[in-house]
Amino acid sequence: MKITSAVMATVLAFAAPVLAETATEGWNNTGGEQDEALGLTPDHENGIETYEVCSACHQLNGWGLPDGTFPQLAGQHVNVIIKQLADIRAQNRDNPTMYPFAKPSEIGGPQSIMDVAAYISKLPMNPENGVGPGDNLELGEKLYKDNCVRCHGESGEGSDEKFYPRIHGQHYNYLVRQFQWIRDGKRRNANPDMVKQIASFSDEDMDAVLDYVSRLKPHPEMIAEPGWVNPDFDW
């Protein structure tokens, strides 16, 4: 039997509440390493040492890869990094590629979580992140302003206090993958508000809004000069 777009839309509409429940279970659980790390004072030198493990994938500058294999981490909010790292270690967020590198045996305990999060947050951001095709930006802007501004802000700056990530300057292909996983119930630590907000987004909507987001620029003071190399690893 051929499944039409109308039938698929109906199936997704009925499935959305189930997917949302699965995807949002434990969105921001308190306790454990997250709370412990949040209460610590960062050690810059240990942050550098800890980040060296992370740099194997996220690159020495913290800029990830434009193909979206690895996200840009540079400039991200401290609380967001702590939450995501703690969630991966607690297996509340599925990331089999990162998990072996994030274990305490590799990078240390809650102190190292705080140290590396604080270090990453101070790295200047990529001046040339990967962007989308640019063919539906008017729709993307409308969708962003109607659905995303309340949490992610006018320019994609997010909120450290509320654990909302910066999404400006992020690679388009990474944004697409995470949006798909959140919308389709694959990312278990997703914010339930976002799951509900984007449940009805079509693939066209998704591509348009994330193309627009990928072109949002952080404040100029947060962006590195072209050709910048992290001096902490410039051996």
Of the candidates 67, 77, 64, the residue with the CA atom closest to the CA atom of residue 222: 77
Is 54 within any annotated ligand binding site? yes
Q: Is 219 annotated as a binding residue?
A: no
Domain limits of the chain?
A: 5-226
pLDDT tens figures, 101-140: 999 999 999 999 999 999 999 999 999 999 999 999 999 9
Round to whole Å and give the CA distance between 83 and 89: 10
Residue 57 annotated as part of some ligand binding site: yes
* Nearest one of 43, 52, 51 to 81, comparing CA atoms: 51
pLDDT at 84 over 70: yes
- Alpha-helix runs per DSSP H in the chain: 5-24, 32-38, 44-58, 78-89, 99-102, 104-107, 110-121, 137-147, 149-152, 172-183, 192-198, 203-214
Domain 5-226 sits in CATH 1.10.760.10: yes
High-pLDDT (> 90) share of the chain, %: 85
Report how far residue 159's alpha carbon sits from residue 64's, in angstroms, rounded to the nearest whole number.
Answer: 21
Start-to-end C-alpha separation, the chain: 61
Q: Is 151 annotated as a binding residue?
A: yes
Any binding-site annotation on 148?
Answer: yes
CB 169 within 8 A of CB 61: no
Residue 178 has a CB neighbour count (10 Å cut-off) of 19
Is 8 annotated in some ligand binding site? Answer: no
Q: Considering only CA atoms, give the Rg of the chain.
A: 18
Whole-number pLDDT of residue 175: 98
* pLDDT score recorded for residue 232: 97
The mean per-residue pLDDT over the stretch 66-84 comes to 97
- 9 has pLDDT over 60: no
What tens digit of pLDDT does each residue of 14-67 get? 344 333 344 345 556 656 899 999 999 999 999 999 999 999 999 999 999 999
Mean pLDDT of 204-227: 97
44 is in an annotated binding site: no
Residue that is written with structure tokens 């909120």 in the block:
159
Contact 124, 218 (CB under 8 A): no
DSSP state of 207: H
